[in-house]
């Protein structure tokens, strides 16, 4: 029997996850497990043994493989050459990956995961998009989870640069979540890949996302957290990444900002501080192509709209500049990081 098909058959059994597959594989060829499931009843449930003995498990795997093919999807097994090399090294790698698009198995050293809050602030989304665009322009693959907020911004930033991005789902590939990102999924699949370890038809239930997060953590060499509340899935991804020996970096925020409590704590615990793509590149030894400095353009409309010693509100600046909120906040953040703008409570902004 095809080893890939053997792995698929096992993953479709009730109660069988990546660790069970790993433990079964350690006992010898999986063909023997499928042929003599009763000998492995300590790892397989009664229902799983019954499905294997009746042949129903093999029929289900055949149907799953046929359905995936009809949807234009590939099923890549742990034993396949296309399986991501760094992901294969984690403690419990997925036995199979459903893939829409193209995998690049040896890109782990140039893959960077960017994650953060679903309820992202406009500033956080703009920063995530800008960091992603800068890294993708240098040839990095941007990995994220397709969720609303920071994840979506990270994928879009990579696409802005014409770069490669990978989306890891917490549902079956035929159950895109959130649904409004279906057009984004098509764009990602053209430039990179959309992947899941979950069988087709799997709904995006909460229990799936911790499993998804370990894939995000293990796909590449580093995780960048842009925004994260005190309890956040992004922090789970960061902890798993540290356990797997990956680098974890974080974007700071104001101490009173609830969306930055998690990232500020990561920095307090020793995570390198990230202000932009250049900080990530410097830490990881990536060369970013030289480009005209955005911060250096001190005479743009946003800078001119500010007056020394005369604070202006965000609403006032929008009236003066006619820029979208996310774009305006991103530019103000750039100027603030360059010490050309001072942020005051309110929030208010002024030139020092």
Is 41 buried (19+), middle (13-18) or exposed (0-12) by CB count in 10 A?
A: exposed
The pLDDT value recorded for residue 294 is: 41
Instruction: Look at strands 348-350 and 312-313 and give their pairing.
Output: antiparallel
The pLDDT value recorded for residue 295 is: 42
Is 244 buried (19+), middle (13-18) or exposed (0-12) by CB count in 10 A?
A: middle
What tokens does 211 get?
Answer: 């499993």
Q: Could you count the other beta carbons within 10 Å of the beta carbon of residue 292?
A: 6
Tally the residues of the chain.
Answer: 352
* Per-residue pLDDT tens digits for 69-122: 999 999 999 989 999 999 999 999 999 999 999 999 999 999 999 999 999 998
The pLDDT value recorded for residue 341 is: 85
What CA–CA distance (Å, rounded) separates 82 from 18? 18
What tokens does 229 get?
Answer: 């509340």
The pLDDT value recorded for residue 287 is: 83
The pLDDT value recorded for residue 291 is: 43
Q: Could you count the other beta carbons within 10 Å of the beta carbon of residue 2?
A: 12
Closest C-alpha to 147, from 32, 237, 19: 237
What tokens does 335 get?
Answer: 């100027």
The pLDDT value recorded for residue 270 is: 96
Is 289 buried (19+), middle (13-18) or exposed (0-12) by CB count in 10 A?
A: exposed
Instruction: Report residues of the chain scoring pLDDT below 70.
Output: 1, 289-299, 309
The pLDDT value recorded for residue 292 is: 42
* Per-residue pLDDT tens digits for 259-293: 999 999 999 999 999 988 989 999 999 887 654 44
């Amino acid at each position: 029997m095809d080893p890939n098909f053997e792995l698929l058959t096992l993953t479709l059994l009730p109660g069988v996850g990546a660790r069970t597959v790993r433990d079964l594989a350690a006992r010898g060829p999986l063909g023997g497990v499928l042929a003599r499931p009763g000998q492995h009843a300590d790892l397989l449930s009664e229902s799983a043994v019954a499905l294997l003995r009746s042949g129903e498990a093999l029929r289900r795997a055949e149907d799953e493989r046929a359905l995936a093919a009809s949807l234009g999807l590939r099923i890549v097994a742990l034993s396949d050459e296309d399986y991501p090399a760094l992901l294969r090294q984690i403690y419990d790698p997925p036995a199979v990956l459903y893939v829409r698009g193209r995998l690049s198995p040896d890109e782990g050293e140039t893959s960077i995961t960017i994650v953060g809050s679903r309820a992202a602030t406009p500033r956080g989304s703009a920063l995530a998009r800008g960091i992603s665009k800068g890294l993708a322009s240098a040839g990095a693959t941007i990995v994220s989870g397709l969720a609303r907020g920071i994840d979506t911004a990270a994928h879009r930033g990579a696409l802005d640069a014409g770069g490669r991005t990978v989306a890891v789902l917490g549902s079956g590939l035929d159950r895109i979540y959130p649904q409004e990102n279906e057009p984004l999924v098509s764009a990602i699949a053209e430039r990179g890949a959309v992947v899941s370890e979950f069988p087709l038809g799997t709904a995006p239930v909460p229990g799936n996302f911790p499993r998804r997060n370990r894939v995000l953590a293990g796909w590449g060499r580093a995780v960048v957290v842009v925004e994260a509340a005190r309890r956040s899935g992004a922090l789970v991804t960061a902890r798993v990444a540290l356990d797997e020996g990956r680098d974890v970096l974080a974007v700071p925020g104001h101490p009173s900002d609830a969306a930055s409590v998690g990232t500020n704590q990561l920095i307090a615990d020793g995570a390198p501080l990230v202000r932009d793509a250049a900080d990530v590149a410097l830490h990881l030894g990536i060369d970013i192509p030289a480009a005209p400095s955005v911060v250096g353009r001190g005479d743009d409309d946003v800078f001119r709209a500010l007056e020394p010693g005369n604070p202006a509100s965000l609403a006032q600046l929008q009236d003066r500049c006619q820029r979208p909120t996310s774009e305006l906040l991103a530019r103000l953040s750039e100027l603030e990081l360059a010490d050309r703008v001072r942020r005051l409570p309110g929030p208010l902004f002024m030139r020092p």
